[in-house]
Amino acid sequence: MVQMTYCRLSCFITKYANQLLISRAGKQITPGSASCLQFTRCNRSIDANALHERQKQQMARGLPKKKAIAGVSQVLVVASGKGGVGKSTTAVNLALALMANEPSKSVGLLDADVYGPSIPKLMNLKGNPELTDSNRMLPLINYGIRCMSMGFLVEETAPIVWRGLMVMSALDKLLRQVDWGSLDYLVVDMPPGTGDVQLTITQSIPIAGAIIVSTPQDIALLDARRGAEMFKKVNVPVLGMVQNMSVFRCPNCDHETAIFGSGGAKRLADTLGVTLLGDIPLHVNIREMSDEGKPVAVSSPGSLEALSYMALANAVVRRLEEINT
């Protein structure tokens, strides 16, 4: 059997079709080679577009449909590519600053870090959540913030030794079986990395925007970039970056030292085409108040550290307004 390339086959079909038209019309038309090339390119373009559309449809079939959390207006996720960059502390103080800047707004805080929940300690909350008549959990409240965490459901010192399916089941309960009431903002403290939990959250609920936290250190910025790129791939708006522990401010003389380097998050934000939302210093007051369960945004509202969180909250609200208009 004679093998025929795609181009030759297309030319043959074109020529044969033209001959039929010539015999029917009684006129001789000489097709040129350009028509064959155009026909081939057109077919290849159609085939590529059709293949891309089929792949898109097949991928969409496997994704869960996003369903809003009842009563929640806007969901903000605070994420990082790795642990140890102050993500949970930033999430807690951001939630408190959002409410402090706009007292009429109601704010909630969801701890999505199933393996290492930090919100109970940071918000000075203990105990099991009560259940409503519809068997939904009621958030625990402190400083006016409604909070939910896996830390409320297990013993404080008990390790959570679960496989992936159990973690996904627990996360579904935290997302769907909590009675948040009416919230203007729900701040979600995401676990570090770009794994199953992150994908489940981004594909299950509509998210108004993601906030990426990183220190200025190069090794932290590498993982922060991966986190930002993940949100872009799943079509979640990246509101911007937060440069945490930017400078160490001496509590005695207020001298500032860039222990982890300087300006790294700003350079990464420029590379990614996003905004640098805030610059949070490394200060002993932030650490001490966090350990005591008294976040600096409420325990020292007039301090420079607290004001930096207030500025961060204002920047987040402005970015949300820009995206929504």
pLDDT digits (tens, 9 = 90+) for 209-232: 999 999 888 888 888 899 899 998
What is the pLDDT, as a whole number, of residue 280?
92
pLDDT reading at 72 higher than 80: yes
What is the pLDDT, as a whole number, of residue 9?
47
What is the pLDDT, as a whole number, of residue 167?
86
What is the pLDDT, as a whole number, of residue 38?
53
Please check whether residue 241 is in contact with residue 224, taking contact to mean a CB–CB distance below 8 angstroms. Answer: yes
How far lies 173's CA from each of 82, 161, 179, in Å? 25, 18, 11
Nearest to 243 by CA among 230, 224, 229, 257: 224
Average pLDDT, the chain: 83
Q: Band of the pLDDT at 103, cuts 50, 70, 90?
A: very high
Give me the percent of the chain exceeding a pLDDT of 90.
48
Q: Average the pLDDT over each of 36-50, 76-90, 148-162, 182-196 and give the range with the smallest value.
A: 36-50
* Residue 191 neighbours by CB under 8 Å, 6+ apart: 112, 113, 114, 115, 116, 197, 198
Of the two residues 135 and 13, the one the predictor is more confident about is 135
pLDDT reading at 7 higher than 60: no
Q: At 315, which helix (H) or strand (E)?
A: helix 304-324
Once rounded to an integer, what is the mean pLDDT over residues 66-92? 92
How far lies 263's CA from each of 124, 175, 296, 305, in Å? 33, 36, 24, 18
- What tokens does 184 get? 């203007």
Residue 36's identity, in one-letter code, is C
Count CB atoms within 10 A of the CB of residue 37.
13
Q: How many CA atoms are closer than 13 Å to the CA of 253, on its beta-carbon side?
A: 3
Q: Average the pLDDT over each of 119-128, 179-188, 257-266, 311-320 and give the range with the smallest value.
A: 257-266
Once rounded to an integer, what is the mean pLDDT over residues 6-20? 50
Q: Please state whether the predicted TM-score (pTM) of the whole model is above 0.85.
A: no
Once rounded to an integer, what is the mean pLDDT over residues 105-129? 94
- What tokens does 75 get? 């969901």
pLDDT reading at 186 higher than 90: yes
- Tell me the C-alpha distance between 296 and 91, whole Å: 12
Helix axes 164-176, 196-204, angle to 10 degrees: 30
Q: Band of the pLDDT at 43, cuts 50, 70, 90?
A: low
Q: Band of the pLDDT at 272, cuts 50, 70, 90?
A: confident
Nearest to 188 by CA among 89, 132, 108, 291: 108
Q: At 288, which helix (H) or strand (E)?
A: helix 284-291
pLDDT reading at 21 higher than 60: no
Q: How many CA atoms are closer than 13 Å to the CA of 192, on its beta-carbon side?
A: 15
Q: Band of the pLDDT at 99, cuts 50, 70, 90?
A: very high
Q: Average the pLDDT over each of 8-17, 108-117, 135-144 and give the range with the smallest value.
A: 8-17
Q: Average the pLDDT over each of 124-133, 195-204, 314-323 and give the range with the smallest value.
A: 195-204
How far lies 272's CA from each of 9, 182, 267, in Å? 46, 34, 9
Once rounded to an integer, what is the mean pLDDT over residues 76-99? 92
Of the two residues 3 and 301, the one the predictor is more confident about is 301
Three-state DSSP state, 164: helix
